[in-house]
Amino acid sequence: MQLKRVVVTGLGALTPIGNSLEEYWENLLQGKSGAANIQQFDASLFKTHFACEVKNFDVEQFLDRKEARKLDQFTQYALVSVMEAVEHSKILESSPNLDKIGVVWGSGIGGLKTFQDEAQGFFEGDGTPRFNPFFIPKMIADIAAGHISIKYGFRGPNYVTVSACASSNNALIDAFNLIRLGKADAIVSGGSEAAVNEMGMGGFNALKALSTRNESPETAS
C-alpha cells in the first residue's frame, strides 16, 4: 500500500498574542507574551489573577449574534480560526468532494463556561430543573468539529480528540494519518479551549498548576 503525501495548505489563528495568523506570527517573532490580568471575570479572590486570554475578540464580527449565542466560547474560537484557515487554503475554490473532507478537532475540556453557568443557575434557583435546551449541545467537546462540518458541508471523518493538553497535537496526528491512509482527501484540524473562567481558574489553582506571580504576568511560567 502506497501512503499518500500530506501537506499543510492553510492556517488560521485566534490566540492570546494575535487574532489572525499574520498578527499572531508577528507577535510570536517579537517574543510578546499573551499573559495579562484577567478581564472576563473578577479574579481578585483567586490565587492567580492573570491568564492568556484571547483579547479584543468580538464574535459578532464573524458570526450572526443569534447563532453565536448558541455556541460556547470554545466553539466560537474554533469556527473563527477555521474560517481563516479555509480562506487561506483556497480549498473550496477547487470544487472538492465534500464527502472526502473531514474535521478532527482537539479540546481538553469543551464548554466549561456553559457547564458553569447552567449548574450555577440550577443550584441557585428553587430546584426546578430549568435548563437551556442548548446546554448539552454547547458543552460537549465534539460540538466544535460538528459546527465546522455543518458550516462548510464537510461529510468526511468527524470527531474530537480529548487528551488534556495534548488534545490538539493528537488531532493533528490523526488528521495526518487519515489523509496518509487514503481515508480522506483533506482534514480541517486544530484545537480550541476556553477555560479562563471561575471553574477553570479555580480548578487549576487547586491543582497548584498555575503561577501565582501576579505582580509580573508577562514573565510568569
Question: Could you tell me if residue 143 is inside a domain?
Answer: yes
Nearest residue to 204 via CA among 52, 71, 33, 75: 52
pLDDT of residue 104: 99
pLDDT digits (tens, 9 = 90+) for 171-207: 999 999 999 999 999 999 999 999 999 999 999 999 9
Domain count, the chain: 1
Is a pLDDT exceeding 90 seen at residue 26? yes
Q: At 138, is the pLDDT very low, low, confident or very high (cuts 50, 70, 90)?
A: very high
Q: Does the residue 3 lie in any domain?
A: no
**88-123 per-position pLDDT tens digit:** 999 999 899 999 999 999 999 999 999 999 999 999
Does residue 13 sit within a domain?
A: no
| 45 assigned to some structural domain | yes
Q: Residue 219 has what pLDDT?
A: 87
Where in the sequence is the domain holding 71, given as residue range(s)?
A: 21-219
Residue 76, C-alpha cell as written in the block: 466560537
% of the chain beyond a pLDDT of 90: 96
1, pLDDT greater than 80 = no
Predicted confidence (pLDDT) at residue 79 exceeds the cutoff of 90: yes
CB proximity list for 75: less than 8 A, separation 6 or greater = 111, 138, 143, 144, 147, 192
In a domain, 163, yes or no: yes
Label residue 130 by pLDDT band (50, 70, 90): very high
What letters, b where the CB count within 10 A reaches 16 and e where it falls short, cover 125-159? eeeeeeeeebbebbbbbbbbbbbbbeebebebbbe
**CA dihedral sign, ordered 200, 113, 195, 139:** positive
Taking only the tens place, the pLDDT of each residue in 34-66 is: 999 999 999 999 999 999 999 999 999 999 999
For residue 144, give the CATH number of its domain.
3.40.47.10
- Any domain includes 12: no
In a domain, 15, yes or no: no
For residue 132, being part of any structural domain is answered with yes
